[in-house]
Structure 1
């Protein structure tokens, strides 16, 4: 299967080149779609230079609007069997993508979540309250949608492409994560989880998500649960 890597990027000049090289080191049939979300550093220039020397790399540029906005901007440009959301900050290692997409390639899954909380892979000891928030949001998702997802907020998700393109996504910022989860649960799709490594950043190192995004996530889950559409 051809795999598309959808990469939202905002001021990730320090890591975006490494991300691109690690994707190509997999040696798979792939497409890379990088959405530069109004970066003020050299993110776009680095991707543009890489694309000039490598086929199948598409750079999209837009004003800053948030992760959700960047993903929604890039989804229509995906042209592959499977799409993986790949953050540009190397908290998630592209080397794990074959493991992530295996349940889709075998025909068992429509969507696969890479879980940071199920154990079995290397984990940086990171922020306690961030972990608590992730577990709480996964619990809320479980109660609302009768699912057993352990890590609803994970940034590593893989989809059959037609599934991702069909979701009625509207969120601009980090609310895109619970919105995706809500819609795939509403549609009773085949969701699998696999354990992944997590190389988390601290706020000093550039992490952007805050407790305010947690409140937004709860609201988004509730909105998707009660809406009639879908």
Structure 2
């Protein structure tokens, strides 16, 4: 199996306070078989010091393979992901939020089924018994499980966490998919479209989750939940 480089796509919006921390954690990870890391940061027209923070980090760490792309206008998380995915040159691509909710130490957990020759796409599930989970919002967890169940009903997959950030794709596969959602509809859209690829091999592994409160910068809200329902229906029934 040819897996020499992993592209790590980071959509960033107003993450100046923490983005250096996630970059430190990514740098500290030693990937299986010494896989090379390529970090692609897409700044979605942040209004804080995200640009300055990334530029300072890159200047201080010239040895790290970091590429920085700047959106001149705010387009949404999905649009930032579209940009990052289009620029990925690794054999596989993973999505990494700029906050500290997901632990890059667990990249190897997602890589494992790929190394065994079993998977083209790997989802990291927060509900399959990862190491640590911060206890936060009951209704968020119920909402996530409902959206996953609704998605599964149409895709005929048996995922436990469709809304997870950690999704690792064989890069040619994700780059071949025409993605349209510019905000948080990326997750149900990409799940619907991946599920229809002939002979696709999708795996799911348990990961940890260190959630944020809204005071700490969490951005998703109830409106995004309704958008996810719309996207599940749209991309599974009306826009195939």
Q: Please, what TM-score do these two structures have when normalized by structure 1?
A: 0.95
Match of 1:152 in 2: 162
Does 2:66 match 1:66? no
Q: Secondary structure in 1 aligned to 2:213?
A: coil
Q: Secondary structure in 2 aligned to 1:159?
A: strand
Does 2:236 match 1:225? yes
The Cα shift of 1:64 comes to: 1.2
Return the match for 1:88 from 89, 98, 109: 98
Q: Is the contact between residue 175 and residue 216 of structure 1 (CA under 8 Å) also seen in structure 2? A: yes
Gaps of 5+ in 2: none
Distance 1:228 1:38 in 2: 29
Does 2:213 match 1:202? yes
The Cα shift of 1:213 comes to: 0.9
Match of 2:55 in 1: 48
Change (3 A) 1:123 1:228: closer
Q: Is the contact between residue 104 and residue 160 of structure 1 (CA under 8 Å) also seen in structure 2? A: no
Moved over 3 A (4+): none
Match of 1:25 in 2: 28
The Cα shift of 1:222 comes to: 1.3
Distance 2:136 2:197 in 1: 33
Q: Is the contact between residue 118 and residue 195 of structure 1 (CA under 8 Å) also seen in structure 2? A: yes
Q: Secondary structure in 2 aligned to 1:119?
A: coil
Gaps of 5+ in 1: none
